[in-house]
Amino acid sequence: MKPTNVQDPEYFHKVIDCQYACPAHTPVPEYIRLIANKKYTEAYMVNWESNVFPGILGRTCDRPCEPACRRGRIEKEEEPVAICRLKRVAADNKGEVKSLMPNAPLNKNGKKVALIGGGPASLTVARDLAPEGYEIHLFDEWHKGGGMMRTQIPSFRLPERVLDEEVNYVTDMGIHTHYNHFVESMKEILDEDYDAVFVGTGAPNGRDLKLPGREEADANVHIGINFLASVAFEHRDKIGRKVIILGGGNTAMDCCRTSRRLGGKEVTVVVRSPFKDMKASPWEIDDAKAEDIPIFNNMPPKSFVVENGKLKGMWFGHVRAEYDKNGKRSLIPTDDPDTFIEADDVIIAIGQDNAFPWIERDLGIEFGKWDLPILNKTTFQSTLPNVFFGGDAAFGPENIITAAAHGHQAAISIHHFCQGVDVNTRLDPTTNLVKQKMGIHEWMYDSPVVEDDRFAVPHEDKVITLSDRKVEVELGFDEITGFREAQRCLNCDVQTVFSLDQCIECDACVDVCPTSCITFTSNGAEEDLRERLSAPANNLDQDLYVSDTLPTKRVMIKDEDVCLHCGLCAERCPTAAWDMQKYLYGVTKVSKIL
């Protein structure tokens, strides 16, 4: 193998599994350490710079970081650090942050940008562009900003005050908000004097289900995201006693839990496929079950039953899933007799689609498969050069953190477009590698690996939460639990950096490494090397850190997979050929936030 190029900014970035997995590349270990040091405000700002909505995401993020967390790999029973809920600890305990945020300059730069849709993608674009002096106009059909964060996430998961606070941090930067303004024509927008237009209108169409009886039952059949929006805006405060939710995603979980709060006593979720294929996050499923909501799987809906004009319930078939060798699933009907479930109301939460009826098709904005706009995947530029897309509107439904990541890149594109720079130009990441040695046995980070199991977030009493849909279920970690959970972080951003010239090949690092990551051996092809290391390196997603050839003609190979970043290799290295150095990787934004 060739020696690893640690000058490549992505090499050490990839070692920080959580940050690498995060669409916005939030420097997770950095803010977790700040939380452990009670520097909540600083931790909040590290997040705000990166993902704009720390308080919201600390409650609602899909947390792609957590399955990636190294802690979950080091032992079978070990669970990842509760990264998401630690973010909330920073948001809950922060001090005054407004003064730390950039202000929009009074003298504008003369460029006008329109943002269609007031959700996370648009707000991120606004946040990034406003400090540069852009005149920004944000349009949303509702009376407040936030988009799907407001309409689709129930208050018991995301209190309105948290949402308002973080939306306002952005809109307070001199954004011209045009609320209660549904944009009906892209042409009208383009006819105005905007230099660029950003579309962040999400995926607003909930899918319907065409089954026998659907039309007759219409009065009691609701589309998931519309149902959630009507509850959020207090257009609806009741539901029948018996409710069926169709679907296995997070919207279905929100619908069933909301139903429980609106009077639903017998709320049932029915999924047509197996549990393991459910799209909902496991913790959301757990929370639904904790509220006495049974979930049935492998039951595709067959028909609605309406008697005397009133919905009585639904018939369901039974299937089992079979997978061919490519993993493609087919649902095979079983012999079990159909099941009838009684219902006063049915909520269909089986997915959502993009919809751009308001974009005229003769403007030069081309659409492709599934009626999604044709975009440059890096710049988010559409085929009409001054129009950009982001969030769910770009490539279909994802999540908030992805929308924020899109927003940052789209903002760069818009900035370049408006400043006459090639839109394809990207900004290099900021990187910083700093020695952590502080004394003989001291590092600037807490190197001991604590043994605590993951802490569970405490919940409010069910009797209280089920009686008021606005009472938040999760109470968040208190400061002490937050500290202990933060200490579970392995500090994967503190890198083991190897200097060949200093190594005397004494093997001290090999001997002390608790997880047998380090090997000195003759070089070879990667597949061969992975087999003959101190411990087999079977996780192909994780790189091998390979040195140049040492005086004994061997090379140093470190398997990054289960390195605990405990610093013992550097501690036991007599020549400091191993050194622990903190790598701070940042995605560069249009304007410097911190």
Partner 1 sequence: MSFIKPIFRHPTQTKNKAGFYKSDYEGRISTLCAGCGHDSINASIVAACYEMNIEPHKVVKLSGIGCSSKAPAYYLNNSHGFNTVHGRMPSVATGANMANRELTYLGVSGDGDSASIGIGQFIHVNRRNLNMVYIMMNNGCYGLTKGQDSATADIGSLSKSGSRNEFSPIDMVSMALESGATFIARSFSGDKKQLVPLIKAAMSHPGFAFIDVISPCVTFNNNKGSTKAYDFIREHIEVTSEFDFVPIREEISVEYEEGTQKSVTLHDGSQIQLSKLYSDWDPSDRNSAMEKLQQSKANGDILTGLLYIDPGSQDLHSTLNTSTLPLNQLTEEDLCPGSATLEKINTEYR
Site of interaction with partner 1 (CB under 8 A): 73-76, 78, 441-443, 447-449, 451, 504-508, 510-512, 514-517, 535-536, 538, 551-552, 562, 564, 566-568, 570-575
Shortest Å, Cβ 74 to partner 1: 5
Shortest Å, Cβ 3 to partner 1: 22
- Taking the least distance from each CB to partner 1, the nearer of 103 and 539 is 539
- Taking the least distance from each CB to partner 1, the nearer of 106 and 440 is 440
Shortest Å, Cβ 561 to partner 1: 9
Instruction: Compute the Cα dihedral for 240, 242, 245, 251 and give only its sign.
Output: positive
Burial class (CB in 10 A: 0-12, 13-18, 19+), 143: exposed
- Residue type for position 292: D
- Taking the least distance from each CB to partner 1, the nearer of 135 and 561 is 561
Shortest Å, Cβ 148 to partner 1: 39
Shortest Å, Cβ 275 to partner 1: 26
Shortest Å, Cβ 22 to partner 1: 24
Residue 341: beta bridge partners? 314
Spatial contact of 352 and 344, defined as CB atoms under 8 Å apart: no
- Taking the least distance from each CB to partner 1, the nearer of 311 and 544 is 544
Shortest Å, Cβ 208 to partner 1: 47
| Token pair for 289 | 């079950």
Spatial contact of 89 and 461, defined as CB atoms under 8 Å apart: no
Spatial contact of 347 and 208, defined as CB atoms under 8 Å apart: no
Rg (CA), the chain: 26
Spatial contact of 50 and 25, defined as CB atoms under 8 Å apart: yes
**Cα–Cα distance list, 543 to 201, 241, 468, 546 (Å):** 38, 54, 50, 9
Under DSSP, is residue 58 helix (H, G, I), strand (E, B) or coil? helix
- Give residues with Cβ within 8 angstroms of 542, minimum separation 6: 559, 560, 561
Spatial contact of 557 and 521, defined as CB atoms under 8 Å apart: yes
- Taking the least distance from each CB to partner 1, the nearer of 180 and 516 is 516
**Separation CA 122–CA 407 (nearest Å):** 6
Shortest Å, Cβ 477 to partner 1: 23
- Taking the least distance from each CB to partner 1, the nearer of 334 and 522 is 522
Shortest Å, Cβ 66 to partner 1: 18
- Taking the least distance from each CB to partner 1, the nearer of 244 and 449 is 449
**DSSP letter string over 102-154?**
PPPPSS--S-EEEEES-SHHHHHHHHHHGGGT-EEEEE-SSSSS-THHHHTS-
- Taking the least distance from each CB to partner 1, the nearer of 160 and 442 is 442
Shortest Å, Cβ 527 to partner 1: 17
Say which DSSP state 381 is in. Answer: B
| Token pair for 24 | 């916005």
What DSSP element (H or E) covers 306? strand 301-307
- Taking the least distance from each CB to partner 1, the nearer of 2 and 441 is 441
- Taking the least distance from each CB to partner 1, the nearer of 335 and 451 is 451
Residue appearing with tokens 């997770």: 28
Shortest Å, Cβ 492 to partner 1: 14
- Taking the least distance from each CB to partner 1, the nearer of 291 and 559 is 559
**Separation CA 38–CA 61 (nearest Å):** 22
**Separation CA 232–CA 154 (nearest Å):** 7
